[in-house]
């Protein structure tokens, strides 16, 4: 795998920052979520710090050429969370000011992940 697991290839750095910051993404990604996405590409990770897990997963994806698959896995996670938020909004309309902003952020991140899934990572 990655020789230094604390560094990421440039093609993954922006995605990592987006996924780890709820303020930007609208979704809190748990360490369990990361482990689940890793399992979809055949990687078994122990539960530990979510930033370390994400770096390990992205390093593995870079090494194995699985960027598309992990981006699709995270996009699916975001779509599920968006459906959950919309369900909450339907049942609790008074939450609209908060949930609408959160849904917009999550949708923007899901679009970014889908775009990244279609792009070709570059090697440095």
- The per-residue pLDDT string of the chain (124 residues; one tens digit each, 9 = 90 and over) reads 444 555 677 778 889 999 999 999 999 999 999 999 999 999 999 989 999 999 999 999 999 999 999 999 999 999 999 999 999 999 999 999 999 999 999 999 999 999 988 876 554 3
- Hey, where are the domains in the chain? 10-118
Tally of residues, the chain: 124
Element (H, E) at 62: helix 50-64
**Residue 124's pLDDT is what?**
37
Helix axis angle, 50-64 to 10-20, nearest 10° = 150
For residue 4, the model assigns a pLDDT of: 52
Q: Which residue, 121, 2, 104, 28, is CA-closest to 70? A: 121
Please give the Cα distance from 31 to 46 (Å, whole number): 9
Write the CB contacts of 70 (distance below 8 Å, at least 6 apart in sequence): 37, 38, 40, 41, 57, 58, 61
């Amino acid at each position: 795998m990655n020789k230094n697991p604390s560094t990421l290839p440039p093609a993954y750095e922006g995605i990592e920052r987006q996924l780890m910051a709820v303020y930007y993404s609208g979704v809190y990604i748990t360490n369990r979520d990361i482990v689940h996405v890793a399992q979809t590409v055949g990687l078994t990770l122990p539960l530990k710090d979510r930033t370390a897990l994400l770096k390990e997963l992205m390093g593995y994806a870079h090494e194995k050429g699985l960027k598309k698959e992990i981006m699709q896995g995270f996009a699916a996670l975001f779509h599920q969370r968006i459906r959950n938020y919309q369900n909450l909004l339907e049942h609790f309309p008074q939450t609209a000011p908060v949930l609408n902003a959160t849904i917009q952020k999550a949708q923007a991140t899901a679009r970014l992940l889908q775009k990244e899934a279609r792009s070709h990572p570059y090697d440095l």
